[in-house]
Chains A and B, each alone.
Chain A
Amino acid sequence: MATSAVSHAPHAAVHVEKTGLWSWITTVDHKKIGILYGATAFAFFLIGGLEALLLRIQLGTAENTFLTPEAYNQLFTMHGTTMIFLAIMPLSAMFFNFFIPLMIGARDVAFPRLNAFSYWVFLFGGLFLNASFLFGAAPNGGWFGYANLTSKQYSPGLNIDFWVGGLQILGIASLAAAVNFFTTIVNMRAKGMKLMRMPMFVWMSFITQVLLLLAFPVITVALILLMFDRSFGSHFFVPASGGDPLLWQHLFWIFGHPEVYILILPAFGIVSEVLPVFSRKPLFGYAAMVFSGIFIAFLGFGVWSHHMFATGMGPIADTVFALSTMLIAIPTGVKIFNWLGTLAGGSLQMKTPLYFSLGFIAMFIIGGLSGVMHASPPADLQQTDSYFVVAHFHYVMFGGSIFALTAGAYYWWPKMFGRMLHEGLGKAHFWLMLIGFNLTFFPMHFVGLHGMPRRVYTYPEGLGFEIYNQIETAGSMILGFSFLIFLYNVFRTWRGPANAPADPWNGATLEWSLPSPPQEFNFAEEPEVHSRDPLWETKREHGGPLPEPKRVSGAGIHLPNPSYWPIVTALGIPTVFTGVLLLPQIGPWGIVAGVLLTFFGTFNWAFEKP
């Protein structure tokens, strides 16, 4: 290629950071898309959190009338759906987007425009779900949407239709992203980065993509069957016609159990990055960590029916699923001991990311132990549908995923925004979150074993539930407040100078070799990797900290052009599902319009000059 001609032309490709709304709408830069994912997911996280606080206010006293039963049903359904699909998953996606290419030494993901498409479909799916509030018809059948409560007969409103459509839209976003990140990790690694040299976060993300690819088609089919029942009059889940509501439960949980590993494996990856850096020693048992992650994912597809012990599957099925479930404790235990092994004898740097990672280990162990308890069918029959289960999954989802994601936020914030978050405020956030979290969820173990059922809008006086619920409600307010501290920390940092060094924590992985924030093209030259901790190795050879990397012009580096076709194509998807909602009013024309728009966008995308 005509090197000299290109780099000497007056308007040559010297990379100037583009700003403004249009640059965000048309961006195909994985770092900008990562920030979009993060900002959107955090907004949904706050909405889901507010929904939870409303639920806690309602449950603060016995026989409360703060929320109607109908409002309560909508809020707990939206709280669960939001936190899983619109908060934890996309917060993980923020880190996939921003850091997988940086950690493997790539200039972008394999398909930058597909990446933008995934984000826009995710955003539209989230808006579609939440638009239901405007019609007073938010989903109200629980995040699991058990048939045949969700049938037209028992749920005649639009509530379930919004849920069915929203989840299908979000599924498309997840699948497109999974194909993209799978290909990126398989194919875009820097020279010398063999699979067994990949950072543990990349490994766990890789396994997560496989789970997404294999689990999401199953929920898609379940949702399609339900949509056909509700919108086109089929009888898949209508017992009077021979339909079997348990088919829904099987399809849902074949997706649903791998889904919980989709939520937790990226968290495992983040903690496995933070602990070595702040212990000043390499990750203990790297290979065991990799294989235990793969083993967890593999077993994750063989345990779904432990969500269905109460349906009476018989002793053989119960035994098999109980044993496979208990087996998962082994690889999970391997991980926990490896994290402790990483900490042992390390020179611990007591910074905020390490605080949250230690909190993660402790809280996740509690959640894991209660999980092993209801792996046993007789125990599960006592615990199922009670607050004991609510306590369990909040210890793994909040105590696990959210603690680790918060650790990741404090750890990677300087790299993403070029600013250091305040340490003191970070630690205040940690302690309040830890205390608030345990006050909220620990008493749920007791009140659950005392018989308080979940998903019920209130409880009678005099059963001894009051004191537990008062503590929980108080704790939830502290928990909510802790995130106000985080917001203040972000706000304060935003107004401060962008002076974060490239490598504030003495990091081991490639992203810390770049300026903070990295330039649009990431690496001016392809890095070469010789070990699992490439940056530590470089620093060892250099005999100390590296000089601050300079920003370079990047002239002549070819980057994909911005494109608006991803957002246009993405708009077609929610149009299809809005068409399904409007079938009685406008016939099939909404669906037709959506399909045409998707095709129109796809064709222009395919023939666009890259």
Chain B
Amino acid sequence: MTHAAHALEHHTSTGLDNRKVAIWTFIGSECLFFASLISTYLVYKGRDTTGPTPDEILQIPLVTVGTALLLFSSLFVVLALNGAQRGNRKSLLTWLGLTILCGIFFISMQVYEFQHFMHEGLKLQTNLFGASFYTLTGFHGTHVTIGVIWLITVFITAIRGQLPPEKSLNLEMAALYWHFVDVVWIVIFPVVYLMK
């Protein structure tokens, strides 16, 4: 390979890897996606003609635990990335495993919550609260699920020893996405559960 050809492939104008620019770009775009869903929820808040209303049905304690674990998972994934960058396989696998467990707990909590609400008579079709609640938290939950699948994929490559420090960007990409999903929940939690 000639020197010029080599330079053309590996040099970038900003010095950042293309994939890193792309994931930030994607996250920027996703902000507008969730902003639109959250706006819809806020516009329709309190406009229902029939119940159940948020006050009657939302349970703060369980969701608080889920929120806390999701926030901790952001710390764990940073520690996992640190392990990956230092080539510390044990640290990488431990923290990444914990991140995935937190994610799975959050999804399970949401599945339980949805089933409980269905049982209480709140469906997508019931009223505007049901429609906007399930759509907003459902799309967030879908993002968490995709994040968990992504992290598990990275975890498996790490177990196989295919995640050396120079490839830690593979984890960093998933981690950036994971932080974003957490940040969105930091907005959703007070807007849906705490705001009167």
Interface residues of A (CB under 8 A from B): 1, 3, 6, 106-107, 110-111, 175, 178-180, 182-183, 186-189, 191, 193, 213-218, 220-222, 224-225, 228, 232-236, 240-244, 247, 251, 254, 523-526, 556-558, 603, 606
Contacts and interface: CB of A to CB of B under 8 A. Distances in A.
Nearest to A246: B43
A218 B49 CA distance: 27
B193 interface: no
B70 to A, nearest CB: 22
29 contacts: A1-B6, A6-B1, A106-B8, A111-B22, A178-B29, A186-B14, A187-B16, A213-B25, A213-B32, A214-B29, A214-B32, A216-B29, A224-B139, A233-B125, A234-B131, A234-B135, A235-B125, A236-B40, A236-B44, A236-B128, A242-B47, A242-B48, A242-B127, A244-B43, A247-B44, A523-B8, A525-B2, A557-B1, A557-B2
A518 B40 CA distance: 49
B1 A558 contact: yes
A111 B131 contact: no
Q: Report which residue of B8, B33, B43 has the largest number of chain A beta carbons within 10 angstroms of its beta carbon.
A: B8
Closest 3 A/B residue pairs (Cβ)? A217-B33, A221-B36, A234-B131
Given A107-B9, A247-B40, A556-B5, A175 B135 contact: no
B88 interface: no
Contacts of A180: 22
Contacts of A183: 18, 21-22, 25
Given A182-B25, A183-B22, 13 more contacts: A189-B13, A215-B32, A217-B31, A228-B124, A232-B124, A234-B125, A240-B49, A241-B128, A247-B40, A247-B43, A247-B44, A526-B7, A606-B153
B12 A187 contact: yes
B121 interface: no
B129 to A, nearest CB: 10
B72 interface: no
A188 B131 contact: no
Q: Report which residue of A6, A217, A218 has the largest number of chain B beta carbons within 10 angstroms of its beta carbon.
A: A217
Contacts of A244: 43-44, 47
Contacts of B8: 106-107, 523, 526
Nearest to A176: B26
Contacts of B18: 110-111, 183, 187-188
A234 B41 CA distance: 14
A213 B2 contact: no
A556 B2 contact: yes
Given A107-B9, A186-B14, A233-B125, A3 B29 contact: no
B194 interface: no
B52 to A, nearest CB: 14
